[in-house]
Copies of this chain bind each other. A is one copy, B any other.
Amino acid sequence: MANFFNRAFLGAAEKDEVTPSILVVGTVAFDEIETPFGKTGKIVGGAATYISLSASYFVKKINMVSVVGGDFPADVIKSFQKRGIVTEGLQILKDKKSFFWKGSYHLDMNNRDTLVTELNVLADFDPIIPESYQDSDYLLLGNLTPMVQKKVIQRMKKRPKLIVMDTMNFWIESARKDLDEVLTMIDVLTINDAEARELSGEFSLVKAAKKILAMGPKYLIIKKGEHGALLFHENHVFFAPALPLEDVFDPTGAGDTFAGGFIGHIAQTEDISFANMKRAIIFGSAMASFCVERFGTERLMDLTEEEIDERLQEFVDLVQFDISLVD
């Protein structure tokens, strides 16, 4: 079996002994999920949770910034720490409740209804960056109000090598001015196809990408769920499919898991070239394909390198073809 994962990992370790670090900002929360396959009770979710767990398979130091209430289980925080996630920047507001989202998916899994959203601790979230996080090499801003995302960038004394940001339709509609400003401060924007259309006012994703790249980001990743992801940069475009699975059990967190694998691979290899971003998209897609196999974060807690290698090989088999070139 080919061993993609180890190769990159050892490669980074051999290069020097400095461990690259990723600052992850986003929600750590409770979710309650209904899919055609079943229901969960209250389980752990949130963008920063999925991003951090996914990225933790690639680098040893994930600096998490988020906020939870006194109701958040201490043993979950310990399980984060076990996976190399630093929780110094995870604020715990003892008298408040954690952010809660409840949603229900349709059969096609590309559509969902939000049943409950309780902001709780998120209402006045002030993202405090601990001093020990200031040397973070890479920054991933999970979906949060653009104002909070901006604060994080401003509070970094040294600009990270790459800033990746996620957002959603809610902010496009309700905080457009702030969003436009943050877009000028970042390197990579990740959004889904509907959001790309809304942000640009263009139905064609190619036209949408041109307009969005003109707003600030140098790279744009458009996530299309089961239909894969597109990476745009200048006049280049790269496409990675989602792995065709027998069952998509629960898509919650798939986009964040994708983003975690993406930034994880980039940090691990310390290479922000376009060629390496293509590989990062494949790593992100592989991680997302695990996420959807079980409810919540279950599948992300104890993946092995062999499993990840095997999954990457499936992606290679899925899309690689050989057309010999005659120059």
Contacts and interface: CB of A to CB of B under 8 A. Distances in A.
9 contacts: A3-B325, A7-B326, A107-B203, A224-B227, A227-B228, A237-B318, A281-B321, A282-B323, A320-B320
Contacts of A123: none
Nearest to A2: B325
Interface string A303-327: 0000000001000111111111111
A31 to B, nearest CB: 23
Interface in A263-300: 275, 278-279, 281-282
A236 B58 CA distance: 29
Interface in A204-262: 204-207, 224, 227-228, 230, 236-241, 244-248
Interface residues of A, number: 46
A295 B116 CA distance: 47
Nearest to A245: B206
Copies of this chain in its oligomeric complex: 2
A206 B275 CA distance: 30
A22 B46 CA distance: 55
A110 B326 CA distance: 36
Nearest to A314: B237
B241 A2 contact: no
A204 B278 CA distance: 27
Given A325-B4, A326-B7, A246 B207 contact: yes
A19 interface: no
A154 interface: no
Given A236-B317, A246-B206, A322 B275 contact: yes
Given A239-B244, A326-B2, A321 B204 contact: no
Contacts of A236: 317
Nearest to A227: B227
Contacts of A228: 227-228, 241
A6 interface: yes
Interface string A139-180: 000000000000000000000000000000000000000000
Contact of A4 (B6, B224, B282, B326): B326
Given A2-B325, A224-B227, A316-B323, 8 more contacts: A2-B326, A4-B323, A4-B326, A206-B245, A227-B227, A238-B317, A279-B321, A282-B323
Contacts of A108: 203
Contact of A326 (B6, B239, B240, B316): B6
B227 A237 contact: no
Nearest to A36: B203
